[in-house]
Structure 1
C-alpha cells in the first residue's frame, strides 16, 4: 500500500506543480502531511495518530490564503480518489479528533470552492 500511495503522491505532485507554480503549497506537501492519516480515515485506527494530527496542523498553517486553501482541498480530493475504503464518519470527525475544529461540517462531498475563510478544507 505504501508503494501505491508513494506513486500516487509523486503523480499528483508533478501534475499540480505545473498547474499552480506561484503557490508556496504543493500537492506533494499536502500529501506528506496527510499520509499518516490514511489508516484512521480508512478505519484501520480508532483515533488519528500523533503524526496525523501534526500533519493536519502543519497543513492548516501552510494554506494561508483562499487560493492555497482551495488548492490544498483539491489536492486532497485527488488523493482521496486513490484511497479505497474511506469512512464517512472518520472524515466527518477528523478535525475534532485532531483538536483542529473547523467552523463547518465536512463530508465526502465537500465543495472546495467553499474554502474561502476557513483554515482547512478536507476530502471529497
Structure 2
C-alpha cells in the first residue's frame, strides 16, 4: 500500500513519512500529527493522520516493489511448463502466470487502500 500526502501549498503528492497498515496503528506509533517538507515547493507543514491517503501503485512501482515474487512465479511456472509440456508452453505459461499474479496483487492492494481511506481517526481518538 502506497501512502501519500498532498502538499497544502502546491497540492503535489509526496510519499508519507509515516507507514502502517491502518490509521489507528499510525496514531499509536507516531501520534496524531506530523511535520513534512514538500519535495516540490520545499515548504514544511503540519498534517493530521487523516491527511494521509492510500493509492494504488503504478505498474512500474508494482513490478519494482515485488520483483522477487514475480521472478519466483516466473521461474517456477517456466520450469514446470518446460518439464511437462516443452519450451514454448513453458514460456507461455510462465508469462501468463506472472501477469495473473500481478493482477491479483494489484486487486488485493485496491481493497486495502479502500479500507484505509474509508476509516478516519478524527473524533475516534481521545486528545
Q: TM-score range by the shorter chain?
A: under 0.3
Structure having the higher Rg: 2
Structure with a larger share of its residues in helix: 1
What's the TM-score, normalizing by structure 2? 0.27
